[in-house]
């Protein structure tokens, strides 16, 4: 006969949750890497063609990639069990948030510069 104590059920559920979160975290990180690499390849092509939108495209790709990486870090907080780990994750999320903010700032300035260039050409 199968008899489970409440402790063994909770342990099993925690194990399932941990595995699901770890797999989803890796998938989100892979999405971020795929976006970054595909953006880099596309921007290298723009660079070869001397296209003026290279900086904007690269900044937007990096920002999107960072969003996926931040998502994976937020998801990772679900399975953190120690304050030290949570502190490290908090610092990582903070740094990625600052990077995202700076990249979005750069995107706005690059969009303004491209708009000015378009006005000058017309």
Task: Kindly report, residue by residue over 16-74, the tens digit of the pLDDT.
Answer: 999 999 999 999 999 999 999 999 999 999 999 998 889 899 999 999 999 999 999 88
Burial class (CB in 10 A: 0-12, 13-18, 19+), 59: buried
Asked whether 106 and 59 are in contact (CB, 8 A), the reply is yes
Apex 94 CA angle, 104 and 67, nearest 5 = 50
pLDDT of residue 2: 57
- CA gap 79, 81 in Å, rounded: 6
Task: Kindly report, residue by residue over 100-120, the tens digit of the pLDDT.
Answer: 899 999 989 988 888 888 888
Asked whether 89 and 73 are in contact (CB, 8 A), the reply is yes
- What's the pLDDT band for 1 if we cut at 50, 70, 90? very low
> Can you tell me which residue has the tokens 């969009």?
111
Residue of 7 and 14 predicted with greater confidence: 14
pLDDT of residue 3: 66
Reduced to 3 states (helix: H, G, I; strand: E, B; else coil), residue 51 is coil
Reduced to 3 states (helix: H, G, I; strand: E, B; else coil), residue 14 is helix
In the predicted model, is pLDDT for residue 97 greater than 70?
yes
How far lies 71's CA from each of 22, 24, 78, 109, 115, in Å?
A: 12, 10, 12, 26, 32
């Amino acid at each position: 006969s199968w008899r489970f104590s409440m402790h063994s059920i909770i342990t099993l559920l925690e194990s399932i949750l941990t595995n699901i979160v770890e797999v989803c975290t890796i998938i989100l990180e892979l999405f971020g890497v795929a976006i970054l690499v595909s953006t880099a390849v596309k921007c290298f092509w723009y660079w070869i063609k001397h296209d003026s939108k290279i900086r904007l495209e690269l900044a937007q790709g990096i920002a999107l990639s960072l969003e996926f990486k931040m998502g994976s870090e937020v998801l990772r907080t679900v399975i953190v069990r120690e304050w030290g780990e949570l502190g490290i994750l908090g610092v990582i999320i903070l740094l990625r948030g600052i990077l995202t903010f700076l990249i979005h700032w750069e995107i706005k300035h690059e969009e303004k510069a491209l708009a000015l260039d378009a006005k000058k050409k017309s």
